[in-house]
Amino acid sequence: MKASLRTVLLAMACLGLAAPTLADEPRRPECIAPASPGGGFDLTCKLAQSGLLEGKYISKPMRVTYMPGGIGAVAYNAVVAQRADEGGTITAFSSGSLLNLAQGKFGRYDETAVKWLAAFGTSYGAIAVRADSEFQTLDDLVKALNTDPSKVVIGSGGTVGSQDWMQTALIARAAGVDPRKLRYVAMEGGGELATSLLGGHIHVASTDISDSMPHIESGDLRILAIMADERLPGAITEQIPTAKEQGYDVSWPVVRGFYMGPEVSDEEFAWWKNTFDQMMASEDFAKLRESRELFPFALSGDELDAYVKKEVASYKELAAEFGLIR
């Protein structure tokens, strides 16, 4: 009994010594969405906000703040240069962020400048039109582009070389249309993009399926094609054809996740990583993610860091093919 008691006391003492190395819950958790409200970055932050609170991983709601500019460039530079050690702040990123990093669009900072925290879901690129659009299929759109690309105004969340631009450029290339002849209007995020499409200011939106779902459900938008390898599960999405099944060999997954400043302490980073790992493994979060039309994808810490660097290298090759970098 005495030996057993000593063992228990020793174990408790060890735990007590280890406890100070574990960071506490952040006092003012914050998620930066690097765009205006209503788009994919907003969705990413709000999904984390709901998942963390509903799962009781945090005791108070995480606030969401907006930092538009350069499709993520302003937020990236601010986090690295001005908010590098903020242990309560996470910032949303997507595959589009990595594509911009690959092209040097975030200025002097590259993919090694931050701590990649967690990625917790993936969506897929989509080509959207208004419900009353003359374009009923992807072929209809391609025929119009072949006839006179200047008459089809395409909105994208970003300038030439952005993720949304790349999606339609890949479709155009697969159809034999010169992507440089497409008529683009650059916008700051998915919220502005949807507003412009619904307002009739553009004819087509290059977006992703998770951004579009509220407008599809309301009957305001239609999706001509989803850029996935096969049809996605779900009452609505399983009815939407892929670009591939319509004869255009294009796939574009959109990973969503978070990074932190480069000087965040190991203890604070570990708190967030462990918390996200627990949340991403839970059935409750799986249901929440599904309700936002995101699909399973879970990486954190070193695994995510390796994934990011591999993707950036791949995007550099793709950007070079389109003459975006040399």
pLDDT in tens, 264-315: 999 999 999 999 999 999 999 999 999 888 999 999 999 999 999 999 999 9
Looking at residue 202, what DSSP letter applies? -
Q: Is residue 95 part of a domain?
A: yes
88 shares its domain with 206? no
- pTM to 2 decimal places: 0.83
pLDDT band at 206 (very low <50, low <70, confident <90, very high): very high
Does residue 68 carry a pLDDT above 60?
Answer: yes
pLDDT level of residue 189 (50, 70, 90 thresholds) = low
**pLDDT on residue 22:** 56
Domain that holds residue 276: 28-123+254-321
Examine the fold and report which residue of 211, 236, 252 is the final residue of a domain before the chain moves on: 252
Q: Specify if 10 maps to a domain.
A: no
Please count the structural domains in the chain.
2
User: Are residues 188 and 303 both part of a single domain?
Assistant: no
Q: What is the pLDDT, as a whole number, of residue 1?
A: 42
241 and 185, same structural domain? yes
Q: What is the mean pLDDT of residues 249-259?
A: 95
144, pLDDT greater than 60: yes
Cβ neighbours for 32, distance < 8 A, ≥ 6 positions apart: 45, 65, 66, 67, 75, 79, 89, 90, 91, 92
pLDDT digits (tens, 9 = 90+) for 228-237: 999 999 889 9
Domain end: 234, 252, 270, which one?
Answer: 252
The verdict on residue 326 lying in a domain is: no
Q: Are residues 271 and 190 located together in one domain of the fold?
A: no
